[in-house]
Structure 1
Amino acid sequence: MKIIISPAKSFKENKDIPTEDILFKDKTQYLVNKLKKYTMNEMGNLHGTNDKLTEKAYYDYQEMDLNNLKNPALFAYDGLVFKQFKREDFDDLDYLNDHLYIISPLYGALKPLTAIADYRLYFDNKDIDLYDFWKDLIYKEVYKDNDTIINLASVEYAKTITDYLKDGDRFITIDFKDVRDGKLKSIVAWMKQMRGKMVKEIISQKIEDPEKIKEIEIDGYKYDPYNSTSDRWVFVRDNQ
């Protein structure tokens, strides 16, 4: 069983954990070389960023050296998903590294200990068709062991896999919803936090049978069989 998650926009230095090389170094280097040729204005137009973010993205690429990366991906991203765990939550880094992927527009598929540098690049940019660029490479990497995939990524990132699913591939999306005014609603901030907490629970407990995930209860969210399907499992919290 493997888990996939989305990356984050924010980044923090964390060089105290051993790292490993990028899985698709040649492909990533191609993108880096391309982006290094962008002018400051072109970099800003790529994602419609303000001057401060544009300048940072521009110089991040100018200074990027894929032969000198030190930050392990899982502990370098700093968004809501990644704030739900820390290094000390995982007593077996080898197990963690073998059971989780982070989907990235720049790096393709990242393992938790893959070394990365800070960057700004999204699939919904205004210049490069990154879905076409990566084609089925990410899918093939994630499914190379014919595992069940537990999807805790957003639609934008899961698309790198779902577009290539074949008969027999087991791909289970986990969703989190809150009961508000008698209706089920997705609260983005809570959903992101629960994705991170679910990663921590599955990995720390070393869960190998997907059915065992249904037994997990986090912050009041419980598996709801009535609103779930075979490939989309909904965890619901009733605040009423």
Structure 2
Amino acid sequence: MSYEPKLAAALSGATLRQLSHWRRATGERGAVLVPEISASRPILYSFRDVVALRACVRLREEASLQKIRRALSTLREGLDEREHLSAYRLVAGGDTIYLADPDHAVDLVRGKGNVVIHDMVDVLAPFYRGGRRIPDLLEPRPHVSVDPAVRGGEPVVEGTRIPATEVAALLRDGVPPEQIGDYYPGVTAEAARDAADFADYVDSYEDAEIRQAAS
């Protein structure tokens, strides 16, 4: 499964404009995150990319983009860490960014030694950004789930392999939620409504970008 920018933005909390900016290198600093599957059109992100993007969004709440780029440069070049960005726990604290484990952390901006980190952020958990609730990555709606082991991480109706987008499309075509079971046995009306609600949420990202560009 690959994630087009709109879905990657909706699941991570980043804006489409941020995704575009973060894909590009700036000066001597590398890109924040280059899509793992395809960095050219069509641009496609992996599940690991989405996890890393959520971490970057949380970092951006407390640190400047310049510091994030500097921290990533230290991580990749200074420490020679070559794993995917999602493999690392990065935490913003004070005026720096740390590479953290449950007990200690390395300062990636100021280059200081190990320190103790008390609060670790769960990047999979829901959070708020700009008044918008960014959903739990693995359960973006009560009856919609995201699991890399099921259809490669495509959002599906919980407990099934049925893509949430297909259920949402039927509702948009006028099929009542109570009749979704005629098309997909086992999918309840409540699950269908959740699939449609999630589809509306994903589309709202594109709509917001269009409104912003027109203003």
Q: Shorter-normalised TM-score: what interval?
A: under 0.3
What is the TM-score with the length of structure 1 in the denominator? Answer: 0.22
Bigger proportion of residues as strand: 1
What is the TM-score with the length of structure 2 in the denominator? Answer: 0.24
RCO comparison, higher one (Cα < 8 Å, 6+): 1
